[in-house]
Amino acid sequence: MTMVYVVLVLYMRNGWMKIPYFHLKPITFNSKVTVIIAARNEEENIGRTLDCLMAQDYPKDLLEIIVVDDHSNDLTGNIVRGYANRGVDLITLNEGNKLNSYKKFAINKAIVASKGDIIITTDADCRMGPQWISTIIECMETQGKDMLSSPVCYHEEKSYFERLQTLEFLYLIGLGAAGIGNGNPTTCNGANLAYRKDLFLEMGGFKGIDDLASGDDELLLHKVAESKPHIIGFCKSKAAIVYTEAKENLKSFLSQRKRWASKSTKYKDKKVVVLGIAIWLFNLAFLLSLLLFGMQGEDGRTLVLLSLLFKFLIELVFLYPVMKFANRRELLFNLPLLTIIHPIYLVYIGIIGNIGKYDWKGRTVK
């Protein structure tokens, strides 16, 4: 199983390396763009995010910004209204407790009201550079893509735990990009996702995946990939990076990852399911081997240590170019520890993420 894992990671590394770096060049933009943010109780963050959007160098007459206030009970709505004279539109939801997927409902409502040809979604706690929109749009148009995933990174870490999250999160971002590079899109992140409005409507929007609270990103990606994987791209550009913050404690981290894992029950692509199961089984076997290390003979212990070494080396081989791209190579010093503890987390999340409900933004959802 270690050898299977090594082959899989090498395959994913090949996918990452297939994606060329994208460099922004001066061009004339013609596409109308709508940036959509679904926000709930984000009074501490939404102002900074909107300030980043106000600083974009994309032509203002071609840019529309829509914030959907998802039943906030803080000052989120009032803060957004303060940007009304700067071109920010506010939609306020008033749906009560009727839905399981408020975020998909909010995004869909904004898309229906939008005037843009291209939709870009991000989150209310994100930061981005002034060339973010320009880079994404030029990448989409020059590469002929109708859906574009772009990188998301954690920053401003306040603890060692948050730095570990950054390393692990960049591993996930790299895997998502690698799948696209290999022509088999698997994951993306709704904090930095762009697609043509016509494509969204052609795919029926979130119809068929709107019963799950999460999945406005990956499940939509899978709908598109099922019939048109060739129109999906990844923007490998530092100017396209969106920055957000890691979770400050273990409870919130596990809750987030449980929500992410809950989407796997809706995957229709059998290749993605098989890949996920293979990685999960390897980590289960690896974890059991570590737990039973003292009970094994000398040959058994040697094999466990070799498995650990191979796991570390292949993850280092994959992560090095990803971390170089993100300018976070110093985080690789934490990889030996992550190599050991990561299987515990993956096995746990693989089980708990597919059963029961979880809390998200003050709601209990499934």
Tell me: the pLDDT tens digits for 54-71?
999 999 999 999 999 998
Token pair recorded at residue 337: 């520890």
Residue 267 has pLDDT above 80, yes or no: no
Report whether 332 contacts 233 (CB < 8 A): no
Distances (CA, A) of 342 to 153, 251, 262: 19, 16, 18
CA pair distance 281, 268, nearest whole angstrom: 20
**Burial status of residue 356 (CB atoms within 10 A of its CB: 0-12, 13-18, 19 or more):** exposed
Q: Taking residues 122-141, what's their average pLDDT?
A: 96
Token pair recorded at residue 30: 């013609």
CA pair distance 166, 172, nearest whole angstrom: 10
Q: Taking residues 189-199, what's their average pLDDT?
A: 96
Mean pLDDT for all residues in the chain: 90
What's the first-to-final CA gap in the chain, in angstroms?
32
Q: Taking residues 116-144, what's their average pLDDT?
A: 96
Q: So what's the pLDDT on residue 196?
A: 97
Residue 361 has pLDDT above 70, yes or no: no
Out of 137-146, 269-278, 312-321, least confident range = 269-278
The residue among 272, 186, 174 whose CA lies nearest residue 232 is 186
Report whether 229 contacts 145 (CB < 8 A): no
Give 260's DSSP letter. H
Which residues, at least 6 apart from 44, have a Cβ–Cβ distance to it below 8 Å?
none
SS3 35: strand
Counts for the chain of helices (H) and strands (E), in that order: 12, 12
Distances (CA, A) of 15 to 11, 180, 197: 7, 7, 27
Supply the angle between the helices 270-291 and 298-325 in degrees, to the nearest 10.
130
CA pair distance 337, 312, nearest whole angstrom: 10
- Sign of the four-CA dihedral 258, 219, 144, 233: positive
Phi, psi at 41, each rounded to 5°: 55, 55
Q: How confident is the model at residue 101 (pLDDT cuts 50, 70, 90)?
A: confident
Look at the pTM and tell me if it is higher than 0.75: yes
**Burial status of residue 134 (CB atoms within 10 A of its CB: 0-12, 13-18, 19 or more):** buried
Higher-confidence residue of 218 and 364: namely 218
- Sign of the four-CA dihedral 194, 197, 200, 205: positive
SS3 284: helix
* CATH class in words for 21-162+183-247: alpha beta
Token pair recorded at residue 99: 């839905």
Q: How confident is the model at residue 181 (pLDDT cuts 50, 70, 90)?
A: very high
Q: Return the domain boundaries, the chain.
A: 21-162+183-247
Place of tokens 């993306």: 188
